[in-house]
Structure 1
């Protein structure tokens, strides 16, 4: 690439712009049940595989622990996620959904399906599926 860099050539800018656009769709729907998109993804991980340690969640979500802690705090404050010390190591905490967290997650899953349908309605189901495959491929180990 010679010459001045323009935004239409920047992969990072294009991905971040698209991410903000898509996040706005999901935030609008998930906001109906009081969750952010980041909080929903944490709850979805815990709904699938709990209990989980902070390290397991951060690795699975490709997030740094500081960002994960910031997203977890309101979920814990609101009683949606609970933690308990590991039997094997009292310094390690295991996180899981509480009973009210499971109820909220079920409501949020319906809102997520609406967001998913809106995105795929605008972008196309086949294109969305191909896009997910490409994006998940980037972070696969």
Structure 2
């Protein structure tokens, strides 16, 4: 229960910070991941983000509807590739300072030592999947 509550609280902090650009933290993370991986297969993106492909596709479709990402077939038509549009890149550029400010707020609230401990513990969570 504590982990879920903490997750919701942190999500609220980031969602609030990103509201001026019309993004939630999950949308921001998707845009950032697509940006970092450039043109990426949805299946690979799902693996990297530890999410199921159906949920990821649904969330990407919402971003596609807003014109922030493009989803196209790869050389193999069964493979769908996602990439940022110019509008997606612009929104991401505007969102990064807002995300950084939210990150600084969380770090400040926890203190440097607790922040580092939290990052270490969260990194260990990957081994559960």
TM-score by length of 2: 0.93
Unaligned runs of 5+ in 1: 1-12
1:61 aligns with 2:49: yes
CA distance in 1, matches of 2:116, 2:93: 23
CA RMSD of aligned residues (A): 1.3
Deviation (angstroms), 1:67: 1.8
Residue 33 of structure 1 is matched in structure 2 by 21
The SS at the match of 2:72 is: strand
Residue 6 of structure 1 is matched in structure 2 by none
1:118 aligns with 2:105: yes
The structure having more radius of gyration, on CA atoms, is 1
Residue 67 of structure 2 is matched in structure 1 by 79
TM-score by length of 1: 0.85
CA distance in 2, matches of 1:65, 1:98: 21
| Deviations 1:95-125 (CA, angstroms, capped at 9, x unpaired) | 0101111111011111100110111111113
1:139 aligns with 2:126: yes
CA distance in 2, matches of 1:39, 1:65: 15
CA distance in 1, matches of 2:116, 2:66: 34
The SS at the match of 1:91 is: coil
Deviation (angstroms), 1:130: 2.0
Detail structure 1 runs of 4+ shifted over 2 Å in the superposition.
Answer: none
Deviation (angstroms), 1:134: 1.3
CA distance in 2, matches of 1:99, 1:15: 36
Count of aligned pairs: 128
1:108 aligns with 2:95: yes
